[in-house]
A = this chain, B = another copy of it.
Amino acid sequence: MDELAKLPGIGPKTAQRLTFYLLRVPVEEALPLAHAIVEVKETMRFCARCFNLTEQELCAVCRDPRRDQQVICVVEEPSDILSIERTHEYRGLYHVLGGALSPLDGIGPEKIHLQELFERVEAEPVKEIIVATNPNLMGEATALYIAEQLTKQVASGRLRVTRPAAGLPMGADLEYADEVTLGRALSGRRDL
Chain A residues close to B by CB (< 8 Å): 75-77, 79-80, 83-84, 86-90, 130-132, 134-136, 143-144, 147, 160-192
Copies in the complex: 2
Given contacts A80-B175, A87-B180, 11 further A-B contacts (CB under 8 A): A77-B175, A80-B174, A84-B186, A130-B186, A132-B174, A162-B190, A165-B165, A165-B166, A167-B184, A169-B178, A170-B180
Contact partner, A182, options B76, B87, B131, B192, Cβ 8 Å: B87
* Distance of A86 Cα from B181 Cα, bound (Å): 11
Give the distance in Å from the alpha carbon of A82 to the alpha carbon of B72 in the complex: 40
Q: Could you tell me the distance between the alpha carbons of A189 and B172 in the complex, rounded to whole angstroms?
A: 19
Nearest opposing residue in chain B for A86, CB measure:
B179
A187 touches B79 (CB 8 A): no
